[in-house]
Chain A
Amino acid sequence: MKVYFRLISVILALSLLLVACGPAAPSGGGDTDTGNQGGGDSSEVTVAPPSELDDISTDVIDANLTATISLGNWPPDTAPDAERAFFEGAKAIMLQQYPNVTVVPAYFSYTLTNYVPMALGGTAPTLFQPPFTDPQLLISQGLVADVTDALEEFGILEKFSPSFIEMLGDENGRIFGLPRDGYVLGMHININLFEEAGLMTEDGLPDFPRTLQEVAEKGQIIREQTGKAALAFMASETQGGWIYTNIAWNFGAVGENALLIQDADGKWIANLTSEPAIAALEYIKSLRWEYDILNADATTTTWGSAHTLLGTGEVAMNFAADDAVDNPTAQNGLAVDKFAIIPFPAGPGGAYALRGGTCYMFAPNTTTDQAVASLGFLRLIGMLPFLDDDIIAGMRAGAAASRERGSPVLPRTPAWNDEEFIAMQRSIAEEYSNVDMRLYDDFFNSLTDGSITFRAEEPVFAQELYRTITNAIQRVITNEDADVFAAMERARERFQEYLDDEIN
């Protein structure tokens, strides 16, 4: 009997410990905004007065469609009145045109950490907005619904760019989402610090760095002249590796020197000790120890805090994309006329830039009817490549609201292959422009003139790769004597081991 009691005691003790340790009970880790890397402000919406949303064509959706849909990123009570009114108006029109469709607002903003338990528990909203870093993981884990049929019904599949089909589809050609908007990684500029450092051209424009070498040299001038750090470098968790990959591409880590390559047998190889890969980390190390231009707390700097540093004038430059122009300006107080975005600086190996974006995806238990109803709502708010007077009015209202809140009104990186839709977006941006476009021309011209080659994220286990490289970055920027090759060799070994475990 005593033995049984002992056994029960041991089990009890173990159980108490495990509950504290168990993965089923995440203990308030908080969102360190890794989920947002490159994802931009996922709560951004188009705003339009509800009265202008009427008479939407019902040709695609059956008027008797019956479904209940819950829509994530619904504006909360704290959102601007116009934004909330716009969504409520769209909801009212949905009810009017499709009386059997019930729209349930969901105040849900996606992060991988908060989405997974909801998806598994069957409580995730029908529609949510993850960044393009996550769809492949969600698809492989069966955590999103196949919406190919609904997209075909809407006739918008042919307007997907091939890269988006790749990002949002599986190996069988089934599609699990649709793009919301795209972004291209570039560099955000705080013009105040360029002015203070005397880095201005005769035209009164900032003397922007065009190459990675110029970033280091001009950054050094800024630091010497202003006493402030020149460059925010987010080297925490996975984000250091995320920026590193773009720097490495520009040092030539593409093609046979790519960070991830496949051998003749299809085996994935971590190619992290190639000459360009090493040169890229040498460069980052030099930014800390030779040029001394990085912000002091780079190892804890996140996507969000880097924007804060730039917006509040603590740094002059930040590697960031065009979907996040709201963060340093409207959210952190930098005046729109003191903000600019330039193309990702070229390196000795070329000029490449990461192209990504935010997408719409659907909870795993979504039916085709629910997906169709959700697409109907997206069409109403102008997020699908359809144009009519009401949708154009919505786009205008969105631009007006951005201008009002002190956010630069700019053309957007297109999410759809639809010339008419893109042209309309651009013309509205021009109409409501509140910036000197000379500060943005280099960036937006680079999207179309071929001066920059776009690349998607690394093809497999990108997050694990980024984390492993971030460790190497942290090592060399916190220890002047750290050996770059040794750091990358260690990263290579670790990631290769991971690849062998998981995929090879």
Chain B
Amino acid sequence: MLSSPSQLPAKGEFMDKQERLGERSYKWIYDLKSWLIMLPGIVLFMFFVWGPLLQSVHMSLYKTRNIELVEFVGLQNYIRVISREDFTQALLNTLSYTFWSLLIGFMIPIFLAILIGETLKGKGFIRTAAYIPNILPGLATVLLWKAFLSAERSGVFNVILGYFGFEPMVFLSQSNLVIPIIIVTATWKGAGATALIYMAGMAGINPELYEAATIDGAGIWRRIRYITLPAIFNLSSTMLILQIIFIFQIMYEPLVLTGGGPDDASLSLMLLMWRYAFGGNMDYGRASAVAVLIALLLLVFTTIYTIVNKRKTNWDM
């Protein structure tokens, strides 16, 4: 409260305050508008993302009877889940899925993108053909592959082999082959979409670089080696981490093709979670514990990626 004229602010000072107040209220209104625009998204996120997230973490700490929380057991669900042999198996398998996915599935979209980029005729056709598997429903493609990979004489690949006089082959019953085969099916479905992202990245490369390289006598391989690949390096780093996140959540492919077999050779962490929840025991508490563990593992990968990427950015500067 102002008690004497000497305490009144000078005219200029008063104006500054008025301006600042006006600016603040303008900013507040501006912020309010932004918040209102975001409100539907935030509400949906809270309802569909944060709610289930917190509930999942909460549930993982309880003994459950269907979705009812019966008794608080602390970290007991985590200990039980981790101490079982199938968790170790599923973790190793998931790392194996990741390895094969990077080996088989990482380079193919880049190759496809370059192929489409370098193709002069039929570019639209190749682009569409590469993308079509991504349009098909996931489950339908897996069922399709199951028919192709059946080891019976009626399996499509075996019919083809039989036509050329070969004996029928066993595909999904071989423990050492089952994960690479599943990765091939997943790659077939997803490579086209990833290739489109790479193509978008390649579209941003200055064509003058290619022209200059061509004038200097660089062939296609050298253009790819020295222009294309360095230009999409950052993009491919992002795609790498996204691919790891995606493949860590592989579930319906092994569920439909092998059920996790033979002898858990294709059991993934997500499929293990599905088994706890829907495989006959309805143990949602432990299923939630597996879900949280998968999330934590992915968080570790993401953090490592972020740190490495940050360092690289610093070095670039």
Which residues of A are at the interface with B, using a C-beta cutoff of 8 A? 10-11, 13-30, 32, 34, 112-113, 116, 119-120, 137, 140-143, 228-229, 235-238, 295-300, 309, 312, 314, 461, 463-464, 467, 470-472, 474-475, 478-479, 490, 494, 497, 501
- Complex Cα spacing A28 to B260, Å: 16
Q: Determine which of B52, B170, B259, B262 lies in contact with A22 in the assembled complex, contact meaning CB atoms within 8 Å.
A: B52
Closest B residue to A111 by beta carbon equals B278
Which residues of B are at the interface with A, using a C-beta cutoff of 8 A? 45, 48-50, 52-57, 65-68, 80, 84-86, 137-139, 142-143, 146, 150-155, 168, 170, 172-175, 245, 249, 251-252, 255-264, 270, 273-282, 284, 287-288, 291-292, 294-295, 298-299, 302
- Complex Cα spacing A296 to B255, Å: 19
How many whole Å from A63's CB to the nearest CB in chain B?
A: 37
How many whole Å from B189's CB to the nearest CB in chain A?
A: 13
16 further A-B contacts with Cβ under 8 Å, apart from A24-B52, A32-B259, A141-B66, are A18-B291, A23-B273, A24-B56, A26-B278, A29-B252, A29-B255, A141-B65, A229-B152, A299-B173, A299-B262, A300-B257, A309-B152, A464-B281, A479-B175, A494-B85, A497-B84
Given A22-B288, A27-B251; A137-B263 close (CB under 8 Å): no
Closest B residue to A16 by beta carbon equals B49
9 A–B contacts from the bound complex (CB under 8 Å): A14-B53, A15-B53, A17-B294, A17-B298, A20-B249, A28-B138, A297-B170, A299-B262, A314-B153
- B263 contact set on A, CB distance < 8 A: 471-472, 474-475, 478
Most buried by A among B172, B174, B258, B295: B295
- Complex Cα spacing A29 to B274, Å: 9
Contact between chains at B139 and A116 (CB < 8 Å): no
Contact between chains at B264 and A299 (CB < 8 Å): no
- B252 contact set on A, CB distance < 8 A: 27-30
- A467 contact set on B, CB distance < 8 A: 275, 279-280
- Complex Cα spacing A18 to B261, Å: 25
- B295 contact set on A, CB distance < 8 A: 14, 17-18, 21
6 closest residue pairs by CB, A with B: A463-B280, A15-B53, A296-B151, A297-B151, A474-B262, A21-B291
Given A23-B56, A299-B261; A17-B278 close (CB under 8 Å): no
- B280 contact set on A, CB distance < 8 A: 34, 112, 137, 238, 463-464, 467
Given A137-B280, A296-B151; A116-B66 close (CB under 8 Å): yes
Given A18-B292, A19-B53, A29-B251; A112-B152 close (CB under 8 Å): no
- A309 contact set on B, CB distance < 8 A: 152
- A113 contact set on B, CB distance < 8 A: 278
Closest A residue to B172 by beta carbon equals A300
How many whole Å from A282's CB to the nearest CB in chain B?
A: 17
Contact between chains at A463 and B279 (CB < 8 Å): yes
Closest B residue to A364 by beta carbon equals B66
Contact between chains at A137 and B282 (CB < 8 Å): yes
Contact between chains at B282 and A116 (CB < 8 Å): yes
Closest A residue to B259 by beta carbon equals A237
- A18 contact set on B, CB distance < 8 A: 52-53, 56-57, 291-292, 295
Contact between chains at B258 and A300 (CB < 8 Å): yes
- Complex Cα spacing A27 to B142, Å: 13
Q: Determine which of B49, B84, B281 lies in contact with A19 in the assembled complex, contact meaning CB atoms within 8 Å.
A: B49
- Complex Cα spacing A112 to B283, Å: 13
Contact between chains at A299 and B258 (CB < 8 Å): yes
Given A16-B49, A470-B261, A497-B84; A23-B279 close (CB under 8 Å): no
Closest A residue to B281 by beta carbon equals A464
Contact between chains at A314 and B259 (CB < 8 Å): no
- Complex Cα spacing A16 to B295, Å: 9
- B138 contact set on A, CB distance < 8 A: 28
Q: Determine which of B68, B137, B255, B262 lies in contact with A475 in the assembled complex, contact meaning CB atoms within 8 Å.
A: B262
- Complex Cα spacing A471 to B175, Å: 12
How many whole Å from B232's CB to the nearest CB in chain A?
A: 25
How many whole Å from A206's CB to the nearest CB in chain B?
A: 22
Given A21-B270, A23-B288, A238-B280; A142-B66 close (CB under 8 Å): yes
